[in-house]
Amino acid sequence: MKIVRSSKCSLKYATANKKKELQTILTEYGRVCNIFIEHFWNNGTPSKSKLLKDIVDIPQDTWLSARLRKVAAREAIDMIKATQERWKNKPNKMKMPVHKAKRMYVSCTIADLIESKKSNEFDAWLHLASIGDRKILELPIKYHKHFNKYKEIGKRLNSYIITENYVQFSFEIETGAKREGTKAIGIDTGINALASLSNRSQIGTDIKFCIERIKRCKKGSVGSRRAIRALKQRIDESVQEIIKLDPDLIVVEKLKNLNKNTKLKRRLSKNIRRSIGIWNWKYWLERLEQACQLNRVKFRTVAPFYTSTTCPVCGATDRMNRVGERFKCLKCNHEDNADLNAALNILKRFITGPYGAGYKLENLAFQNVQV
């Protein structure tokens, strides 16, 4: 399977002059992008393959090259399409998007990464040409661990996201076929442990402290940013701990439709209040899924209903089965830690479902669980 991964390199090594020049380009690029957006918004979006001279020449008072204007026109089309998609159910609330002049997506028509030959220099230079007004910009790039890892296992693509602070590179990685084994792990996400696993272990049991630390900090402060970074790092470490268990399949609860005011949202929000917060949850699931892709582990989701209140032994579902951190079945008296119980139900839901054939419930602490 082919996957695309990205890695950011800081522009902190660029001189003040270069940064200023880059800022000028970004500002003009954003302005031109907005001219295109307004035009396409009022006159309809053209197809990307039909961006001929008459369209590219619409912004008349700019020094941007035709090439970069074309890039801006493409981005304008993408932004309008994304807005239309987002508001397709409420078109009367839709507003024209605005490019904030903070980033540009460029490809080989504008940018090229040139590896540095001298050893005492930076690792490479991002060479920007055909910008317009005879401008040429060379930005110093220093590789780092993350970048080098992708560089080694993947192929670097000729597309770049440039902001005033960093350049984002993309890599295409061929991971090979998914693993064929049957070792399956169900994972419940929570606040007492970030991950409670169906193999009876818990990972990230300090996640509550990381989240409380963020809550104590003033929003947007240095301390708050530091605390958020620490939380993300803890989540990333937890992902790696799970991958080290060498699973063939990971099953989690599906997190979806949160933009709509549905029954599901109400039911989920109750769980989330008891959990780690929606953004952290999203970040965690994304990182977990990405790590699974990279390591050829299958990643599946199941519907999130009643996983914390169902008894895996007798199958009874009762809201009263769960009291705080304890699970106790009112019907058969089966007792367990509530989060570990949920992890087991998540895995069981997948295995007994239409795609679960061939997987085993492994490493269970109790034998009387019937699938």
Contact set with Zn ion (CB under 5 A):
311, 313-314, 316, 329, 331-332, 334
| Shortest CB 348 distance to Zn ion, Å | 13
Cα distance between residue 280 and residue 191, in whole Å:
11
Minimum CB distance to Zn ion, residue 326 (Å): 14
By DSSP bridging, strand 184-189 and strand 249-253 are parallel
Question: CA-CA distance, 171 to 42, in Å (whole number)?
Answer: 37
Shortest distance in whole angstroms from residue 327 CB to Zn ion: 9
Q: Which is nearer to Zn ion, 331 or 360 (CB)?
A: 331
Shortest distance (Å) from residue 202 CB to Zn ion: 22
In the complex with Zn ion, the residue whose CB is nearer, 284 or 327, is 327
CB burial of residue 345 (10 Å; 0-12, 13-18, 19+): buried
Nearer to Zn ion, 144 or 331 (CB): 331
Q: How far is the CB of 338 from Zn ion (least distance, A)?
A: 14
Q: Which is nearer to Zn ion, 272 or 313 (CB)?
A: 313
Distance CA 286, CA 304 (A): 17
Give whichever of 133 and 318 is closer to Zn ion, judged by the CB atom.
318
> Residue 288 or 311: which CB sits closer to Zn ion?
311
**Least Cβ distance, residue 336 to Zn ion (angstroms):** 10
Sheet-wide strand order for 124-128 = 111-115, 124-128, 137-141
Tokens of 37: 């957006």
Contact 253, 349 (CB under 8 A): no
Between 66 and 332, whose beta carbon lies closer to Zn ion? 332
Strand bridging mode 166-174 / 154-163:
antiparallel
Q: Please, where are the H alpha helices in the chain?
A: 16-43, 53-56, 66-86, 145-153, 207-216, 222-244, 263-273, 278-294, 338-351
Q: How far is the CB of 321 from Zn ion (least distance, A)?
A: 8
Q: Which residues contact 16 (CB under 8 A, 6 or more apart)?
A: none
CA gap 194, 345 in Å, rounded: 17
